[in-house]
Amino acid sequence: MGGGEFISMLSQRELFEKQLAVERLHIERQPETERENLARIYEEKGLSPSQAEAVAAQLMANPSVALDTIAREALGLDPDELGSPQAEAAASFVSFALGAAIPILPFVFLQGTTAVIAAFIFSGLGLFLVGALLSAFTARHPLVSGLRMMGIGLGAAVVTYLIGRAIGVSVAG
């Protein structure tokens, strides 16, 4: 999972860097077009045409400021925060490793149906707790967020279990 996250973030970062390079080239080769684009953005934000032109001209006077502004206003990017593939991969690895330990741990101490039921219960509690904690960052009530996370996670676990049973995988010793 960490490797997948690394590739995903690396590809995203490379895409953003390419977009910035294209805009940098446009600023160098077509400054009038970029100035007009900036002016249009500021008109859409409510400035009068003359004010928008003045702001755009002032921004275009410094190519690095122009690029930063175009990145933020036109592309929706923060050039200073393109993401770190290494940090995201490490976070993904740790998150998945900790998350995977919860349903696996009962199989260390138990076996058969008892281990499956314990894994189901511990996973459900872990999923509910994570969902409830995530509500601190959203507008959702902790109970709603926890139940949603638990329902989706346990639903996926049940489907996975049933697929395993259908192809002959057994957890009985």
Percent helix, strand and coil across the chain, each rounded to 5? 85, 0, 15
Q: State the average pLDDT for the chain.
A: 89
Say if residues 149 and 128 touch (Cβ distance below 8 Å): yes
**113: CB partners within 8 A, 6+ apart:** 171, 172
pLDDT at position 172 over 80: no
Return the pLDDT at 144.
94
Q: Which two tokens stand for residue 25?
A: 């080239």
Mean pLDDT within 14-28: 92
Return the pLDDT at 171.
63
pLDDT at position 95 over 80: yes
Mean pLDDT within 58-64: 94
pLDDT at position 18 over 60: yes
pLDDT at position 35 over 60: yes
Return the pLDDT at 139.
84
Return the pLDDT at 15.
86
Return the pLDDT at 83.
73
Mean pLDDT within 76-98: 81
Whole-structure pTM value: 0.57
Return the pLDDT at 97.
87
